[in-house]
């Protein structure tokens, strides 16, 4: 594990404990150590032969740590890496716990360490602090609520016919967008941009002008933006996309001067166009199935909530919310 992973590991572990309550993993309350009351010395002695669910890979006194627990936390940690936008695919791959040595290191540095601190907290009576006790109750509530929801949707399935029908009815949504190879020139004033456009229309080389006179970051590459797709530059550049992806601009065409939302004046040239490719049913299968399953599960949960809602007295004091 890298140094950054080690530094953030303990925080990730604690955060992972909360994630479990809202994840799709099925975890029984009896498997969460800190929800159980403290055992006395007599209890410890008598529980020495108690059956443990799973493969024990470590012990702190009589508190076991199982292979299944380790795998569960590693899965959560690895999944959290996939969600991080600040890491490249290679960095995510390097940070992931996917080897035996990394798993052993994670066990020693996080699970064993956490269990030692847990037992120390129990010995000191920190579990009886009102704020800690309330937090454990809230966590237990969240965990059981998730278990109830998981139980409600556990038998919901999506058939092949449903996937095929969804694809057939929404083929336009499964088409890769058109991409265009674009060069750009940016100027601070409209007059400069218009003068450059005149020179381009008279035959000046677009790349050379971009290198010498464009103020955009792309100037060093002759204004070359590579192949871009609509929206790639961000929401603030919608008007840029309207020009660059205009049907009036075909291969080799140069746009007129237009003002970007950043205040600069632009000229773009389209050098190549790649038409959007239709994504096949087999390529889109898993995505469609996951979306349909999520929708069916939400509908079933909404239906169940509506029924359960009528069975309970619910009071909301909005006036107390400041």
Tens of pLDDT along 13-72? 344 444 443 333 333 333 334 333 344 433 443 334 457 789 999 999 888 999 999 999
53 in the Ramachandran plot: left (φ > 0), alpha (ψ -120 to 50) or beta? beta
Q: Are 15 and 132 in a shared domain?
A: yes
How far apart are alpha carbons 118 and 126 in whole angstroms? 9
Q: Is residue 102 part of a domain?
A: yes
Q: Is residue 291 part of a domain?
A: no
How far apart are alpha carbons 108 and 102 in whole angstroms? 10
pLDDT confidence of residue 112:
95
225: CATH:
3.10.50.40
Classified as helix, coil or strand, 212 is helix
Mean pLDDT value across the chain: 85
Alpha helices, DSSP H, located in 176-311: 190-201, 206-213, 238-244, 281-309
Residue where the block lists tokens 């609520």:
145
How far apart are alpha carbons 47 and 29 in whole angstroms? 18
List, for residues 215-263, the tens digit of each pLDDT value.
Answer: 999 999 999 999 999 888 877 788 899 999 999 999 999 999 999 888 9
Using the 3D structure, point to which of 274, 292, 308 is the last residue of a domain. Answer: 274
Q: Are 18 and 137 in a shared domain?
A: yes
Q: Is residue 171 part of a domain?
A: no
Q: Is residue 322 part of a domain?
A: no
List, for residues 182-222, the tens digit of each pLDDT value.
Answer: 999 999 999 999 999 999 999 999 999 999 999 999 999 99
What's the domain range around 74? 3-153
Q: Are 126 and 222 in a shared domain?
A: no
Q: Are 13 and 74 in a shared domain?
A: yes
Q: Is residue 163 part of a domain?
A: no
Q: Are 190 and 119 in a shared domain?
A: no
Domain count, the chain: 2
Q: Is residue 166 part of a domain?
A: no
Using the 3D structure, point to which of 92, 119, 153 is the last residue of a domain. Answer: 153
How far apart are alpha carbons 164 and 268 in whole angstroms? 41
Q: Is residue 302 part of a domain?
A: no
39 in the Ramachandran plot: left (φ > 0), alpha (ψ -120 to 50) or beta? beta
180, 228 Cβ separation under 8 angstroms: yes
Strand 265-274 with 258-259, pairing: antiparallel
Q: Are 83 and 220 in a shared domain?
A: no
Q: Are 128 and 181 in a shared domain?
A: no
Q: Are 101 and 227 in a shared domain?
A: no
Letter string b/e over residues 244-266, b meaning 16 or more CB atoms within 10 A of that residue's CB: bbeeebeeeeebebbebeeebbb
63, 33 Cβ separation under 8 angstroms: yes
Instruction: Name which of 197-201, 219-223, 271-275, 276-280 the model is least confident about.
Output: 276-280
Strand 56-60 with 265-274, pairing: unpaired
| Number of residues assigned to the chain | 322
Q: Are 106 and 17 in a shared domain?
A: yes
Q: Are 78 and 147 in a shared domain?
A: yes
Start-to-end CA distance of the chain, whole Å, equals: 45
Q: Are 21 and 82 in a shared domain?
A: yes
pLDDT confidence of residue 48:
43
Mean per-residue pLDDT for 97-108? 95
Q: Are 100 and 182 in a shared domain?
A: no
Helix pair 113-124, 3-22: axis angle to 10 deg:
60
Which residues does 240 contact at the CB level (< 8 Å), separation at least 6?
233, 258, 260, 261, 266, 268
Classified as helix, coil or strand, 183 is strand
Residues 64, 66, 71, 72, Cα dihedral to 10°: -60
pLDDT confidence of residue 177:
87
Whether residue 150 is predicted with pLDDT greater than 90 in this model: the reply is: yes
């Amino acid at each position: 594990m890298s140094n950054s992973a080690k530094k953030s590991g303990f925080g990730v572990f604690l955060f992972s404990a909360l994630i479990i309550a809202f994840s799709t993993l099925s975890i029984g309350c009896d498997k969460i150590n800190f929800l159980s009351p403290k055992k006395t010395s007599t209890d410890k002695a008598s529980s020495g032969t108690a059956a443990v669910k799973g493969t024990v890979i470590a012990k702190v006194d009589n508190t076991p740590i199982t292979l299944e627990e380790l795998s569960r936390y590693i899965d959560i940690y690895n999944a959290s890496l996939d969600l991080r936008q600040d890491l490249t695919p290679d960095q995510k791959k390097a940070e992931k716990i996917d080897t035996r040595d990394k798993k052993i290191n994670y066990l020693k540095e996080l699970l064993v360490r956490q269990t030692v601190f847990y037992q120390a907290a129990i010995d000191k009576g920190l579990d009886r602090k009102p704020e800690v006790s309330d937090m454990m109750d809230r966590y237990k509530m969240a965990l059981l609520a998730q278990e109830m929801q998981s139980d409600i949707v556990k038998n919901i399935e999506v058939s092949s016919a449903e996937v095929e029908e969804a694809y057939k009815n929404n083929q336009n949504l499964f088409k890769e967008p058109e991409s265009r190879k674009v060069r750009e020139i940016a100027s601070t004033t409209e007059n400069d941009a218009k003068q450059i456009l005149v020179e381009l229309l008279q035959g000046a080389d677009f790349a050379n002008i971009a290198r010498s006179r464009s103020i955009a970051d792309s100037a060093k590459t002759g204004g070359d933006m590579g192949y871009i797709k609509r929206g790639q530059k961000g929401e603030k550049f919608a008007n840029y996309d309207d020009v660059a992806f205009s049907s009036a601009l075909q291969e080799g065409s140069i746009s007129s001067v237009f003002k970007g939302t950043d205040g600069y004046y632009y000229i773009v040239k389209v050098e190549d166009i790649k038409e959007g490719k239709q994504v096949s049913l087999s390529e889109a299968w898993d995505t469609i199935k996951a979306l349909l399953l999520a929708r069916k599960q939400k509908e079933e949960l909404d239906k169940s909530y509506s029924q359960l809602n009528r069975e309970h007295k619910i009071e909301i004091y909005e006036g107390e919310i400041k």
